[in-house]
Amino acid sequence: MAMDGRESAYSLVSEPSPWWLRGLAIIMALLVMMMALGAVSGILAPMFVDRFVPDDWEEIEPYPEDGTEEDIANWTEGKEFWDVMVDYMDGMMGVVEFSALHSGLLAILGLFCIPVLWKGERELGIKLVGAWIGINLLGGIVMMWMISKVGFYPQFDFGPEAGGTEIPEFINTFSAIASGAQIVICNGILLAILVLVASKSKPETSFDI
């Protein structure tokens, strides 16, 4: 095949369907909405906790000045549980703030991906989505590490009759495994979709001999 007196090494066989890239744009739009909601909830959650969750157990249950020993024992037990819960929530606030920042960044990057993919700018769109998946994976790993430092569940001591701290420890171990699997599976699915779209949206060419 000759063009302007020169031979081309390749010739276009067929144009791929634009809906591969547009379909990916729709997926990114859904992910952007999810991340935007995550960012908003991450911003509002600490405000809600500061406003409505008291730090002191006495604000919820006044100390029984004239109560029986059983009343005082029940109050003390409730206070111990509440103090553990408050310490846990304080530790989780850093995770929530990071989650809001992470989700906000992904929402913004996703907004750039959508029009690029919809217009059929394949190379740039694939790179942007690849970067999005990379940031999502890295942020998920960092968030999991932060949660593991605090714990996936408050370290309540249920006493020797109820197994002490065995239940919280089991929940923390199970949650860590489940969270790690979720990060791998979710990002693996997204990467598989990206590879599929990259393959299906690539123009087919052949050598002219």
* Whole-angstrom distance, CA of residue 152 vs CA of residue 179: 10
How many distinct structural domains can be found in the chain? Answer: 1
Q: pLDDT at residue 32 above 80? A: yes
Q: pLDDT at residue 99 above 60? A: yes
In a domain, 2, yes or no: no
For residue 75, the SS3 value is helix
In a domain, 188, yes or no: yes
In a domain, 8, yes or no: no
Q: pLDDT at residue 199 above 90? A: yes
Average pLDDT over residues 81-102: 92
pTM of the model: 0.83
pLDDT of residue 159: 67
Write the pLDDT tens digit of every residue in 133-182: 999 999 999 999 999 898 888 877 766 666 667 788 888 889 899 999 99
* Whole-angstrom distance, CA of residue 102 vs CA of residue 119: 27
What angle do helix axes 19-52 and 166-200 make, rounded to 10 degrees? 150
In a domain, 4, yes or no: no
In a domain, 115, yes or no: yes
In a domain, 116, yes or no: yes
Q: How many Cα atoms are found within 13 Å in the side-chain-facing hemisphere of 208?
A: 11
pLDDT of residue 3: 46
More confident residue, 41 or 159: 41
Q: Which domain holds residue 20?
A: 14-203
* Whole-angstrom distance, CA of residue 193 vs CA of residue 209: 35
**Long-range CB pairs of 60-65, under 8 A, 24+ apart, other chains included:** none
Sequence-separated (6 or more) residues with CB below 8 Å from residue 58: 79
* CA neighbor of 206 nearest in space, from 8, 5, 2: 8
In a domain, 109, yes or no: yes
